[in-house]
Structure 1
Amino acid sequence: MPLKRLPLDTVNGWSRNTLMQTLGIVCVELGDEHLVARMPVDARTHQPMGLLHGGASMALIESIGSMGSCLLLDLAREQPVGVEINANHVRAVTEGFVRGTGKLVHAGKRTHLWQVDIHEEATGKLVCTGRLTVMVVPKTG
């Protein structure tokens, strides 16, 4: 099931006044079954030792999967909610940017599964890999 091809400005507009805006997460590429988002590694995303915080990587994974699921749904009637996330942190990063590439693994009527790999932008080395399960629920209010 291909993702809707909306302008990046529209997709990034969903992040106004959210954690994604606070962390500097920006969607930079949309494909039929993948999307790419970029996040800075700086004071906003560091842990006390000056490394990329694992929680920031998890936030990037969830943001990518949720954005992707939004591009599969009729948002007037339904909405995505993350129900399970897991990740393996494999390399430290202290500065620059990371890029997360989310690939759609499964798109059912009630669940979506996303595989997200995060790479250091400067070197291309894998930093973190994770999966997000999204539940599709009726829109409320």
Structure 2
Amino acid sequence: MAQETDRAAQLNAAQAGTLPALLGVVVDEARHGELAAHFDVAAHHMAPNGYLHAASIIGLVDTACGYGCVVSLPQGATGFTTIELKANYLGTARDGRVSCRARLVHGGRTTQVWDAEATNGEGKVIALFRCTQMILHPR
């Protein structure tokens, strides 16, 4: 558990000044194959129509999957890049917390596939997400 706390703290510190920090993303748990994160809904997460902007959800779930990939890189890998992502929106949030749990579905030497669910403060699933990461190795 201490290692998970350390990894989450390291990821939170490393994102200072980047998009995840601007969105208010907070990593709650980080371990091989799984990552949990959240943000508290604020005005900057909203679209002009008063509902949560789809890009805010993408920012959260893609960050969770990307950080999960970093924590789960195979030995010898130097990083990753996203090569595909897809989201299905099932609901929204206008206030409260939006949480995400990401999990590794496929962890190969050259690719990883991650699934994530975003939920609103009532625990309702508001988005399903899947992405594929290409694992980078030294040349």
Assess same fold via TM > 0.5. Answer: yes
Equivalent residue for 2:133? Answer: 134
| Contact map agreement 2:29 2:36 (CA 8 A) in 1 | yes
| Contact map agreement 1:34 1:68 (CA 8 A) in 2 | yes
| Contact map agreement 2:31 2:71 (CA 8 A) in 1 | no
Query: Counterparts of 1:136 and 1:89 in 2: how far apart (Å)?
Result: 27
Equivalent residue for 1:93? Answer: 93
Task: Please state if 1:12 is matched with 2:12.
Answer: yes
Query: Counterparts of 2:81 and 2:75 in 1: how far apart (Å)?
Result: 12
Deviation at 1:74, TM superposition (A): 6.9
| Contact map agreement 2:32 2:72 (CA 8 A) in 1 | no
Deviation at 1:62, TM superposition (A): 1.1
Query: Counterparts of 2:19 and 2:96 in 1: how far apart (Å)?
Result: 19
Equivalenced residue count is 136
| Contact map agreement 1:61 1:132 (CA 8 A) in 2 | no
- The alignment-based identity, stated in percent, is 25
Task: Point out the structure with the larger helix share.
Answer: 2
For the aligned residues, what is the CA RMSD? 2.1
| Contact map agreement 2:79 2:135 (CA 8 A) in 1 | yes
Runs of 4+ deviating beyond 3 Å? 74-77
